[in-house]
């Protein structure tokens, strides 16, 4: 609970963060940077959970615990994604998004 | 009295057909000819016995009774059902005799004429089929039975005309005959549908009964274009008769039908099948006479008169002897038609009816004779054309004499059969319609002229260069000729009015001497002109023809009827309707079905760019999907 | 909570045990012994599958985080059977992996852990378990997609898969957070009571839905499907198309019918549009495909559209039909993928053109392929027909006749491209036809199981009636 | 095992026998002939059994049997026959047996050919015995789909496209049909009571008029496409042209009859109000189809196309008669189905024989075949004459029953349409005679044809098998027509 | 006071987030991301959720960011400059994100959240978290806790399998070459 700050502002912040992540996902040319954008997205959700929990439903800790799991999952996901990206790099020596377009139509 | 045995008369030929048809390969030619003749012999014996039996004892209080034996064959509705059976009354008995007689003669004759032909047995099978169908038609108890056998007759005619099926012209003629008559039969069928819809029956007995629905009730029925639907029905039924009897405008098949073997022409296209139309009208005569004051009957009369005149004119110009005879047939049937058309119903007033039947009878004899004689000639010289013939009287005496008798008979030479029947027709016409009468007299003259033109051309004049000397035909062919010649003379002395009348009551008919005199003199004038023109070769006919110029040409080309028909069928029906139907089907209906498939495939090709292979495009569509769905939902939500 | 109540988790515990055994085996076996891992794992899974046919009570564990009932249990067994068939079909391919790359055990571990993920996902009683189950389903498969580490398209497919799914699960997570904001709970049951229709809840639902739609590959969230299927090894594509999709459909159904029931007027419309879009997109793209994996990918997209028809009927009928269709669909698709796998491992050919004249060289395979495709197309008396017809019935029962009409039009389009493959196999003759080959034992077993499923699941009506009898358990 | 289910089971057994025991062509056709012979004997037996049963049993359907299939949907495997189905079954058995004889010498994949053919037949038989909508629909699709393989593998010409077009159009139609069936199903509880697929239970219900108006056209079109309703008939010419002989026979002879049968038994019987409301529209379409098909047939160059369009014309006549709503026309429609089935099968068989010998089907290239092949020629002419409605053959009985019946319609418009339709008989004779005249008669077109092999005994057997019922119906139609009328009674009661 | 801190943090988060997704220098982008994460941790501190803030800093700052940096360094040299993104793509992406944001914000703004009272609020203790995480009663999180461990194992194995060096086939030529060559043509 942050004095003077309403839940609307919190949600606005997290939404902006979420859509910045989305924007990043759309525009980044490098797979690793795309993955970074995903981190923003996940963090937006985590922030949501925590702050909604504390603002609106403080008697239970569901949101708070949820966010712990989000972080854990984000870590696992990132690790795997990086492994996959590196695997790609070993084959084509590139991690550019534009080099992952041989399958289409 | 029991006439149920008459059912055998058509069934014997049917059995013959089945046996000969199924085992055509197994039965040797020699046997099949005899078998056929024997079968028909039995039939003729039976029918003569029936005739005797009927005309002697068939009267009750001076009226010929009608005997019906029938079996239900197919039930349509509670009221409408097709029965098969036999109906014995004067005209059916008379026709039965005609059919079996001629058929028997033709069978006998064909044994000689078709000798050595590949399809000998097949030929006899067809003949038997035809005899069966014709007898079934004659004995029909109701309209639908008649239609059934009407069609069968058509089919056997098709088979017989197309007997020489490797000859394209024969095939074409067979097709033409079938299709033209079938078109006419369409009218017949629709007529039956109309009549049966309003009367609820097919039965001749009900249809011709004077207090039946048809005759008593026509006034109450709906009308179409100013005529009662019953009249329309009768006219449409008559259309069938017009087709089968080769009246205008459906006559075009008859000359071509001469492509068939000559005995066939004698049997079908001269004596029996072609008079089916006459028989049909006679069968329904009370209906024609009473419905709407005989309007339909007048149509019959005029069609008959016009056909008779036109056919006679065309016959004058033709050079193919069988075609001359064909047009002659048409002309004579026109006579019968007009006789029916001018007839009234009761007693002596019904003279036309009697005359028509009488003429039908005599005509069958002499026309069959003419054809068989022509066949004999053709058999001898292997040509159909007058210019290939001449002076044959020396080689073929029997044929010559019998042919002469027939020609005199048809020309109405006093004393011969044709004279009597034709006279009655003229009297009937005179009494009712002067215009038709004059035209009939003219036709009588023309008839005499073209018959003797034929006669002189064949048997007199110079010898032609024959490939081998013509000789008289074998006995099997000449015996029928002699028999028919006999009939052509003496058939006229049968007191027909005692037997066959419109109201089934016998009356006394007398020769009307003035009219007979006029008719016979016109006939004799015709003969004389023919004698002058054709007895010796001369250029008279040619000059004459030239004098008439294009009229001659017009008539020679049969008034361009064939061309007209070809135009209508080939150009309009095939060229426009059928062609556009198949074009439409291929290019519009089918293409649109295929088009649906093609459009799907091309859409599929157009949208393939959506799957660009770019990760971020996918993401955009993912988020785009969310945003769009959200917007749409909220848009709906807000409203 | 006592020890016996853990029996409710029997299938999960069984899978977990298999996982542990495999890990132990992997650690303590030498290279030669590793060849034995294939039959070993197969037998274990088979035992687990067979055990699944034993009856089970319904109930909840862990304060409602895990719930199970006869329907879910049945569905888990079906999935297990599907995976078993799939593994049988890939045994041959795996042997190569053992010999060359020493990666067979990992394959089993990954695929079984993913299966475990689907179990937890559909048994989830709250959004957290659901989310973890979803991730557990997804992530090991991402590794499997890249399993042929030397193949460029595999790597590419894996990248697309992991990043797209990260985005999708991120979106779903954001949606869950919004839903949490409106209701204050992550438990399904409580949320079902509290959830009321509001803009935020709807938006949350849409975000959430997109995450599952991604897994089911519904348009417009489907784009990854074709590329990933094409890139992935065949059995992984097969897994994606049947197991993970089927599980996602079922959990979507459960959530829609229970948690999101208050939002039904909204999601009904959304599903309506999505069904139409999905079917058309799937079919229109499938028409042009040459590569069979890609072809089956689009076909499975179209099939997903059909499956959703069952959602239109929010009752027992819809539930039963969806579960039934998914089961049938698993068999059909495994049949098709199995043949592709068999042919591919024998000849390395995956294009439709390559299949020309296949019937004359390999009649049995072609026949099975035809059966599988006809089943997918919905031709009686194969199982797919019944599944599809019942889906139509479910949708029509709520009066969605127009939707059913669009669906049947699409079924006809789909028949077209299925027939293209049949045409290649049966109608065409080719000099370069794939020569005759005899599939190994496991492969044949896998194919036969799929064939039996295709042939029997439809005509044998007790299956459906059984599902019907158990499917009321979670609606009430 | 009951007498009807055997009709489905025997083909399946034959298929299995073929699959496992047939090693070569000889064995394959032996098994098929024996199997189809049994089937044929069963169908003859069924006719007599039916007559016997009918004498003591006044239910709409006899030999009924009902087994619950899908309890949830109230789907039953329920079977039963009335006279209409009995004659259709007999027709199927005859055509199939003849088809097997005609396909005696199939050389490419013979086993598979017979398997597909017989699998198809089990669908057809099942369709005719079903009294449950769903079961019927299942069998319907089973009957349609083997067509793709049959045409695609053993066909000729542009077989792949034809097969695809045919399959897609028919399956598309059946897709539409499934919507109609669902519509009927979900309105089958209009008067309370459970939802049901059973035809006779639905017939007790008054389905709301609005629903009837929507689902009638769907159901009608769904069935009528296979009955060659204009403009959905285009699958038929190309399909027939490409199909192998036996398949054309079976398809035109039997499969297309499913359309009329379905229209009658399902669409019209279950949705009577819809049927009446839509009748004018479909009536005009079918009447147009009659004339249109006939005219289109005139211009065709390929023998099979002629026959295909002739089928369009003749089957539109069936639909036309069905839409006339009276007993006579309906009887006629069924007899027409039978008659057309037999005759068109004969035509296709004959065309197949000519094609098999001369390797052409182009009318222009053929001529004078009768001289060389007298048996085939004679049968060809007979078939032609029968086809154009000559008395003494089944076609006449059928057409006349239809025409007389249709003309009894009290409405003037219907009678006028009838007259229009009647005139098709002339056009029919034109194209039939043109075809017969050109290819059978006339001079021999090609010297090479001189040594064409004569008809073999199995070809003769096949033809004669088909010819016998044609003549039997043509000569003694009363029993058949009365038997059918009795079975039409329930339809009459429901529709009028 | 807290309000100002919040705004500062919000500004930091948003600015660095934007920087992180637009920076063309990849390593800088990673660092910007780190700042964002730290900012978020700050938020957690603000609401007295110190435990999570700590996790955020250790797992993200200590784990994930390092992973990113390693990855970047493994793949490229540090100073790698990314290509400039096409303007059109940027515009579309921007428009799409903006409209999504607009919809989201609109939905949030129309939702009547209840007024929160400061009294109900208490800081989240680590002990509570621990108790809940390991409780199997109602509201306990033991099950996800266990399952996520399976997930982590699976992901670990998966990562290892993929990252494991390729075996070379007997003749010594890596399969990669023909494998990728052949498949590149396969469009």
| CB neighbour burial string for C50-79, b if at least 16 within 10 angstroms, e if fewer | eebeeebeeebbbbbbbbbbbbbbbbbbbb
**E184 within some domain:** no
Q: Are A51 and E113 inside 8 Å of each other by CB? A: no
Q: Which of B179, B190, B590 sits opposite D430 (nearest CB)?
A: B179
Nearest CA in chain A to B612: A104
In this predicted structure, what is the pLDDT of residue C160?
A: 93
**C476 within some domain:** no
Chain C, 162 to 181: residues with Cβ < 8 Å from chain E are 178, 181
Residue C135 touches partner A, C-beta closer than 8 Å: yes
**E173 within some domain:** no
- How many CB atoms are closer than 10 A to CB B232? 22
How many angstroms separate the CA of residue C291 from the nearest CA in chain E? 9
Provide the token pair at D277.
Answer: 């409301």
If 0-12 CB within 10 Å is exposed, 13-18 middle and 19+ buried, where does residue B427 land? buried
Provide the token pair at E62.
Answer: 């200590």
Please check whether residues E2 and E71 belong to one and the same domain. yes
Q: E32-64, pLDDT tens digit by residue? A: 999 999 999 999 988 888 888 998 999 888 889
**E181 within some domain:** no
Domain carrying residue E64: 1-83
Mean pLDDT of chain D: 89
User: Where residue B480 falls among pLDDT bands split at 50, 70, 90?
Assistant: confident
Q: C409-440, pLDDT tens digit by residue? A: 999 999 999 999 999 999 988 888 888 988 88
List the single best residue of E21, E82, E97, E99 to mutate versus B (max B Cβ within 10 A): E99
Q: Which of D235, D296, D396 sits opposite B582 (nearest CB)?
A: D296
In this predicted structure, what is the pLDDT of residue C210?
A: 93
Residue E103 touches partner B, C-beta closer than 8 Å: yes
DSSP codes joined into one string, C105-158: HHHHHHHHHHHHHHHHHHHBSBHHHHHHHHHHHHHHHHHHHT-STT-HHHHHHH
Residue D390 touches partner B, C-beta closer than 8 Å: yes
Query: Could you give the number of structural domains in chain E?
Result: 2
**E75 within some domain:** yes
User: Where residue C112 falls among pLDDT bands split at 50, 70, 90?
Assistant: very high
Residue C354 has pLDDT above 60, yes or no: yes
- Partners of C176 on chain A (C-beta within 8 Å) are 45
Domain carrying residue C36: 3-470
Long-range CB pairs of C459-467 (<8 Å, 24+ gap) are: C459/C381, C459/C386, C461/D69, C461/D70, C461/D71, C461/D75, C463/C324, C463/C327, C464/C320, C464/C324, C464/C386, C464/C390, C464/D70, C464/D72, C465/D70, C465/D71, C465/D72, C466/C74, C467/C71, C467/C74, C467/C320, C467/C323, C467/C324, C467/C327
Residue C224 has pLDDT above 80, yes or no: yes
Neighbours of chain A (3+ CB pairs under 8 A): B, C, E
Give the residue-averaged pLDDT of C87-112: 84
If 0-12 CB within 10 Å is exposed, 13-18 middle and 19+ buried, where does residue B539 land? exposed
How many angstroms separate the CA of residue A9 from the nearest CA in chain B? 21
**E7 within some domain:** yes
**B–C touching, 3+ CB–CB pairs within 8 Å:** yes
Residue B626 touches partner E, C-beta closer than 8 Å: yes
Residue B462 has pLDDT above 60, yes or no: yes
**E44 within some domain:** yes
CA D416 vs CA D312, D336, D419, D423: distances in Å: 21, 21, 5, 11
Query: Could you give the number of structural domains in chain C?
Result: 1
CA B543 vs CA B97, B548, C11: distances in Å: 46, 9, 117
Please check whether residues E3 and E79 belong to one and the same domain. yes
Residues belonging to chain B = 639
d(CA C399, CA B266): 74
Q: Name the H helices within B267-294.
A: 276-283, 285-290
Provide the token pair at D290.
Answer: 């009659």
Please check whether residues E3 and E77 belong to one and the same domain. yes
Give the residue-averaged pLDDT of C304-333: 92
E113 DSSP assignment:
P
In this predicted structure, what is the pLDDT of residue D85?
A: 92
How many angstroms separate the CA of residue E164 from the nearest CA in chain C? 9
Pick from C20-34, D36-50, D165-179, E52-66: least confident = C20-34
In this predicted structure, what is the pLDDT of residue D177?
A: 92
| Beta bridge mates, B320 | B385
**C62 within some domain:** yes
User: Where residue D333 falls among pLDDT bands split at 50, 70, 90?
Assistant: very high
- Hunting for tokens 């309403």 — which residue is that? A6
In this predicted structure, what is the pLDDT of residue E120?
A: 58
Residue B464 has pLDDT above 50, yes or no: yes
Q: Name the H helices within A1-105.
A: 7-27, 31-56, 62-92
Chain C, 379 to 418: residues with Cβ < 8 Å from chain D are 379-381, 385-386, 389-390, 392-393, 396-397, 399, 401, 404-405, 408-409, 411-412, 415-416
Question: What's the Rg (C-alpha) of chain C?
Answer: 21
User: Where residue B562 falls among pLDDT bands split at 50, 70, 90?
Assistant: confident
**C475 within some domain:** no
Residue B639 has pLDDT above 70, yes or no: no
- Partners of A52 on chain C (C-beta within 8 Å) are 177, 180-181, 184
Number of alpha carbons in the 13 Å side-chain half-sphere of residue B185: 28
Q: Are B593 and D234 inside 8 Å of each other by CB? A: yes
Give the residue-averaged pLDDT of D399-409: 90
Mean pLDDT of chain C: 90
d(CA D312, CA D171): 19
Residue A55 has pLDDT above 90, yes or no: no
Chain E, 112 to 171: residues with Cβ < 8 Å from chain A are 113-114, 116, 118, 120-122, 124, 128-129, 132-133, 139, 141, 144, 148, 151-152, 155-156, 158-160, 162-163, 166
How many angstroms separate the CA of residue C444 from the nearest CA in chain A? 31
In this predicted structure, what is the pLDDT of residue E118?
A: 57
How many angstroms separate the CA of residue B629 from the nearest CA in chain E? 11
Reading phi first (left if > 0) and then psi (alpha if -120 to 50, else beta), residue C378 is in left
Q: C233-269, pLDDT tens digit by residue? A: 999 999 999 999 999 999 999 999 988 988 888 899 8
How many angstroms separate the CA of residue D11 from the nearest CA in chain B? 34
**C444 within some domain:** yes
Mean pLDDT of chain E: 81
In this predicted structure, what is the pLDDT of residue E187?
A: 29
Q: Are B166 and D300 inside 8 Å of each other by CB? A: no
**E91 within some domain:** no
CATH number of E47's domain: 1.20.120.1200
Q: Which of B608, B614, B616 sits opposite A25 (nearest CB)?
A: B616
Please check whether residues E73 and E150 belong to one and the same domain. no
- Partners of C426 on chain D (C-beta within 8 Å) are 149, 152-153
Residue A101 touches partner E, C-beta closer than 8 Å: no
Nearest CA in chain A to B609: A105
Percent of chain E whose predicted confidence (pLDDT) is above 70: 80
List the single best residue of B623, B625, B627 to mutate versus A (max A Cβ within 10 A): B623
Q: Are A104 and B613 inside 8 Å of each other by CB? A: yes
Residue E185 has pLDDT above 70, yes or no: no
Residue C110 touches partner A, C-beta closer than 8 Å: no
Q: Are B634 and C202 inside 8 Å of each other by CB? A: yes
In this predicted structure, what is the pLDDT of residue E170?
A: 40
In this predicted structure, what is the pLDDT of residue E119?
A: 57
- Partners of B623 on chain E (C-beta within 8 Å) are 96-97, 100
Q: Which distant-in-sequence residues (6+ apart) come within 8 Å of D492 by Cβ?
A: D327, D330
User: Where residue E80 falls among pLDDT bands split at 50, 70, 90?
Assistant: low
Q: Which domains does chain A have, with CATH numbers?
A: 7-99 (1.10.287.3510)
Q: Which of A13, A56, A91 sits opposite E114 (nearest CB)?
A: A56
In this predicted structure, what is the pLDDT of residue E165?
A: 62
């Amino acid at each position: 609970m942050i004095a003077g700050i309403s839940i609307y502002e919190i949600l606005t912040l997290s939404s902006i963060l979420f859509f910045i992540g989305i924007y990043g996902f759309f525009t980044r040319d490098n797979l690793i940077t795309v993955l970074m954008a995903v981190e923003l997205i996940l963090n937006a959700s985590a922030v949501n959970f925590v702050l909604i929990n504390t603002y609106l439903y403080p008697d239970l800790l569901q949101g708070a615990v949820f966010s712990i799991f989000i972080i854990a999952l984000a870590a696992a996901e990132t690790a795997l994604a990086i492994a996959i990206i590196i695997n790609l790099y070993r084959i084509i020596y590139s991690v550019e998004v534009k080099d992952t377009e041989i399958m289409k139509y | 009295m029991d006439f149920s045995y008459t059912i055998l008369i058509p069934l014997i030929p049917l059995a013959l057909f089945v046996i000969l048809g199924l085992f055509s390969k197994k039965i040797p030619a020699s046997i099949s000819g005899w078998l056929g003749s024997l079968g028909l012999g039995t039939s003729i014996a039976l029918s003569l016995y029936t005739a005797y039996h009927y005309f002697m004892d068939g009267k009750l209080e001076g009226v010929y009774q009608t005997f019906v034996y029938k079996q239900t064959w197919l039930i349509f509705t509670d009221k409408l059902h097709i029965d098969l059976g036999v109906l014995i009354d004067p005209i059916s008995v008379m026709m039965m005799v005609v059919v079996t007689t001629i058929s028997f003669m033709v069978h006998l004759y064909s044994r000689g004429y078709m000798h050595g032909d590949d399809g000998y047995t097949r030929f006899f099978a067809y003949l038997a089929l035809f005899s069966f169908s014709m007898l079934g038609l004659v004995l029909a108890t109701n309209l639908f039975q008649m239609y059934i056998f009407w069609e069968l007759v058509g089919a056997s005619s098709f088979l017989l005309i197309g007997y020489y099926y490797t000859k394209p012209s024969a095939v074409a003629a067979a097709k033409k005959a079938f299709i033209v008559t079938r078109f006419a039969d369409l009218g017949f069928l629709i007529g039956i549908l109309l009549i049966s819809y309003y009367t609820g029956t097919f039965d001749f007995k009900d249809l011709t009964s004077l207090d039946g629905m048809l005759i008593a009730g026509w006034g109450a029925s709906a009308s179409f274009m100013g005529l009662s639907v019953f009249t329309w029905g009768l006219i449409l039924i008559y259309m069938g008769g017009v087709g089968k009897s080769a009246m205008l405008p459906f006559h075009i098949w008859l000359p071509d039908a001469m492509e068939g073997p000559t005995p066939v022409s004698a049997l079908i296209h001269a004596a029996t099948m072609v008079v089916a139309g006459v028989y049909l009208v006679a069968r329904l005569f009370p209906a024609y006479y009473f419905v709407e004051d005989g309007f339909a009957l007048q149509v019959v009369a005029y069609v008959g008169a016009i056909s008779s005149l036109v056919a006679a004119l065309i016959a004058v110009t033709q050079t193919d002897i069988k075609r001359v005879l064909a047009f002659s047939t048409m002309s004579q049937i026109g006579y019968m038609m007009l006789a029916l058309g001018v007839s009234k119903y009761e007693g002596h007033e019904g003279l036309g009816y009697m005359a028509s039947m009488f003429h039908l009878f005599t005509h069958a004899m002499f026309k069959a004779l003419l054809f068989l004689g022509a066949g004999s000639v053709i058999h001898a010289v292997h040509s159909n054309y007058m210019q290939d013939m001449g002076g044959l009287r020396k080689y073929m005496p029997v044929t010559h004499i019998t042919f002469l008798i027939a020609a005199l008979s048809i020309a109405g030479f006093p004393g011969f059969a044709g004279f009597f029947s034709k006279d009655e027709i003229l009297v009937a016409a005179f009494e009712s319609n002067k215009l038709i009468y004059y035209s009939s007299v003219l036709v009588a003259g023309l008839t005499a002229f073209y018959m003797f033109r034929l006669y002189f051309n064949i048997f007199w004049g110079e010898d032609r260069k024959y490939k081998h000397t013509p000789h008289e035909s074998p006995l099997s062919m000449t015996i029928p000729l002699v028999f028919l010649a006999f009939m052509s003379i003496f058939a006229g002395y049968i007191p027909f009015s005692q037997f066959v009348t419109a109201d089934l009551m016998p009356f006394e008919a007398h020769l009307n001497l003035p009219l007979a005199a006029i008719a016979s003199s016109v006939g004799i004038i015709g003969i004389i002109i023919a004698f002058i023109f054709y007895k010796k070769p001369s250029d008279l006919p040619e000059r004459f023809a030239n004098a008439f110029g294009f009229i001659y040409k017009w008539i020679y080309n049969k008034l361009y009827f064939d061309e007209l028909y070809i135009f209508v069928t080939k150009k309009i029906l095939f060229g426009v309707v059928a062609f556009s139907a198949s074009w439409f089907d291929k290019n519009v209906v089918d293409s649109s079905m295929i088009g649906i498939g093609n459009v799907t495939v091309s859409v599929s090709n157009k949208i393939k760019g959506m799957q660009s292979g770019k990760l971020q495009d996918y993401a955009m569509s993912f988020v785009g999907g969310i945003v769009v769905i959200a917007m749409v939902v909220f848009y709906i939500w807000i409203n | 909570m006592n020890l016996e109540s853990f029996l409710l988790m029997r299938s999960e515990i069984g899978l977990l045990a298999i996982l542990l055994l495999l890990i132990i085996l992997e650690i303590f076996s030498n290279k030669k012994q590793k060849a034995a891992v294939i039959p070993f794992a197969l037998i274990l899974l088979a035992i687990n599958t067979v055990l699944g046919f034993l009856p089970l009570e319904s109930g909840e564990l862990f304060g409602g985080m895990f719930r199970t009932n006869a329907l879910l249990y049945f569905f888990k067994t079906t999935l297990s059977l599907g995976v078993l068939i799939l593994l049988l079909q890939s045994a041959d391919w795996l042997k190569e992996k053992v010999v060359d790359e020493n990666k067979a055990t990992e394959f089993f571990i990954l695929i079984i852990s993913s299966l475990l993920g689907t179990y937890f996902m559909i048994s989830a009683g709250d959004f957290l378990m659901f989310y973890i189950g979803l991730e557990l389903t997804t992530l090991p498969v991402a590794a499997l997609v890249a399993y042929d580490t030397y193949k460029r398209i595999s790597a590419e497919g894996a990248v697309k898969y992991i990043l797209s799914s990260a985005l999708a699960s991120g979106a779903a997570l954001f949606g869950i957070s919004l839903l949490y904001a409106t209701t204050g709970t992550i438990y399904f049951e409580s949320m079902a009571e509290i959830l009321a229709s509001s803009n935020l809840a709807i938006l949350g639902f849409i975000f959430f839905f997109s995450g599952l739609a991604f897994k089911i590959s519904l348009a417009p969230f489907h784009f990854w499907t074709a590329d990933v299927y094409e890139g992935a090894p065949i059995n992984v594509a097969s897994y994606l198309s049947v197991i993970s999709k089927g599980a996602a459909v079922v959990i979507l159904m459960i959530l829609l019918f229970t948690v999101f029931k208050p939002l039904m007027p909204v999601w009904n419309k959304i599903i309506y549009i999505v069904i139409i879009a999905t079917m058309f997109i799937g079919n229109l793209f499938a028409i042009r495909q040459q590569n069979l994996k890609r072809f089956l990918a689009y076909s499975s997209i179209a099939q997903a559209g059909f499956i959703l028809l069952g959602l239109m009927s929010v009752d027992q009928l819809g539930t039963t039909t969806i579960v039934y269709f998914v089961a049938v669909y698993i068999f059909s698709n495994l049949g098709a993928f199995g043949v592709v796998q068999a042919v591919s491992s024998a000849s390395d050919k995956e294009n439709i053109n390559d299949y020309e004249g296949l019937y004359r060289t390999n009649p049995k395979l072609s026949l099975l392929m035809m059966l599988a495709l006809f089943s997918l197309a919905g031709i009686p008396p194969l199982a797919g027909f019944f599944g599809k017809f019942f889906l139509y019935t479910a949708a029509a029962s709520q009066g969605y006749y127009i939707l059913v009409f669009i669906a049947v039009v699409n079924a006809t389009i789909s028949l077209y491209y299925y027939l293209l493959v049949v045409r290649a196999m049966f109608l065409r003759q080719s000099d370069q036809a794939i020569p005759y080959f005899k599939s190994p034992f496991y492969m044949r077993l896998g194919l036969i199981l799929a064939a039996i499923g295709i042939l029997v699941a439809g005509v044998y009506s007790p299956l459906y009636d059984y599902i019907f009898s158990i499917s009321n358990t979670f609606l009430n | 095992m009951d007498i009807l289910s055997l009709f489905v089971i025997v083909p399946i057994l034959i298929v299995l026998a073929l699959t496992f025991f047939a090693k070569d062509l000889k064995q394959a056709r032996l098994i098929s002939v024996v199997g189809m012979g049994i089937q044929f004997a069963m169908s003859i037996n069924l006719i007599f059994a039916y007559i016997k049963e009918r004498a003591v049993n006044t239910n709409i359907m006899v030999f009924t049997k009902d087994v619950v299939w899908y309890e949830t949907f109230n789907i039953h495997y329920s079977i039963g026959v009335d006279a209409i189905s009995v004659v259709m079954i007999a027709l199927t058995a005859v055509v199939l047996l003849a088809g097997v004889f005609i396909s005696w010498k199939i050389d490419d994949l013979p086993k598979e050919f017979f398997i597909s053919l017989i699998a198809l037949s089990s669908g057809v038989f099942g369709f005719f015995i079903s009294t449950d909508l769903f079961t019927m629909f299942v069998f319907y699709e089973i009957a349609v789909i083997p067509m793709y393989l049959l045409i695609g593998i053993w066909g000729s010409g542009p077989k792949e496209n034809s097969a695809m077009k045919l399959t897609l159009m028919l399956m598309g139609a059946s897709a539409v049909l499934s919507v109609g069936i669902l519509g009927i199903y979900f309105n089958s509880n209009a008067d309370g009571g459970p939802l049901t697929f059973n035809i006779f239970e639905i017939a007790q219900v008054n389905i709301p008029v609005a629903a009837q108006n929507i689902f009638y056209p769907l159901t009608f079109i769904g069935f009528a496409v296979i009955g060659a309703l204009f403009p959905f008939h285009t699958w038929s010419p190309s399909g027939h042209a490409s199909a192998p002989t036996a398949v054309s026979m079976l398809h035109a002879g039997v499969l297309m009859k499913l359309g009329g049968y379905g229209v009658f038994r399902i669409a019209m019987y279950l949705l009577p109000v819809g049927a009446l409301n839509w009748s004018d529209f479909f009536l005009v379409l079918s009447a147009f189809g009659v004339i249109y098909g006939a005219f289109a047939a005139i211009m065709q160059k390929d023998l099979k196309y002629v026959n295909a369009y002739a089928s369009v014309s003749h089957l539109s006549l069936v639909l036309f008669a069905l839409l006339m709503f009276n007993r006579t026309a309906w009887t006629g429609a069924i007899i027409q189905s039978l008659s057309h089935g037999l005759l068109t099968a004969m035509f296709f068989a004959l065309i197949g024989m000519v094609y098999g010998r001369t390797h052409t089907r182009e009318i222009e290239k053929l001529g004078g075949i009768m001289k060389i092949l007298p048996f085939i020629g004679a049968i060809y002419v007979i078939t032609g004459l029968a086809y154009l409605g000559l008395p003494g053959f089944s076609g006449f009985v059928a057409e006349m029953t239809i025409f007389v019946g249709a003309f009894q319609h009290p409405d003037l418009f219907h009678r006028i349409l009838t007259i229009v339709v009647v005139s098709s008989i002339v056009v029919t004779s034109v194209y039939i005679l043109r075809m017969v005249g050109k290819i059978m008669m006339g001079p021999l077109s090609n010297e090479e044809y001189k040594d064409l092999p004569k008809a073999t005994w199995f070809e003769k057997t096949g033809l004669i098998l088909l010819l016998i019922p044609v003549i039997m119906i043509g000569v003694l139609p009363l029993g058949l027509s009365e038997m059918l009328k009795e079975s039409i009674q329930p339809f009459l009661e429901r529709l009028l | 006071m807290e309000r100002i801190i919040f705004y500062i943090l919000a500004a930091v988060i948003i600015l660095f987030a934007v920087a992180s997704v637009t920076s063309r220098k990849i390593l800088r982008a990673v660092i910007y991301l780190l700042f964002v994460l730290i900012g978020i941790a700050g938020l957690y501190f603000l609401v007295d959720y110190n435990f999570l803030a700590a996790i955020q800093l250790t797992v993200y700052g200590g784990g994930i960011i390092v992973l990113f940096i390693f990855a970047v360094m493994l793949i490229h040299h540090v100073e790698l400059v990314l290509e400039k993104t096409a303007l059109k793509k940027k515009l579309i992406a921007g428009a799409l994100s903006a409209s999504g944001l607009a919809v989201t914000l609109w939905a949030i703004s129309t939702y009547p959240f209840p007024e929160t009272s400061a009294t109900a609020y208490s800081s989240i203790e680590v002990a509570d978290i621990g108790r809940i995480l390991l409780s199997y009663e109602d509201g306990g999180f033991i099950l996800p806790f266990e399952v996520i461990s399976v997930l982590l194992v699976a992901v670990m194995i998966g990562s290892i399998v993929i990252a494991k060096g390729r075996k070379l086939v007997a003749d010594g030529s890596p399969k990669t070459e023909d494998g990728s060559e052949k498949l590149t043509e396969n469009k």
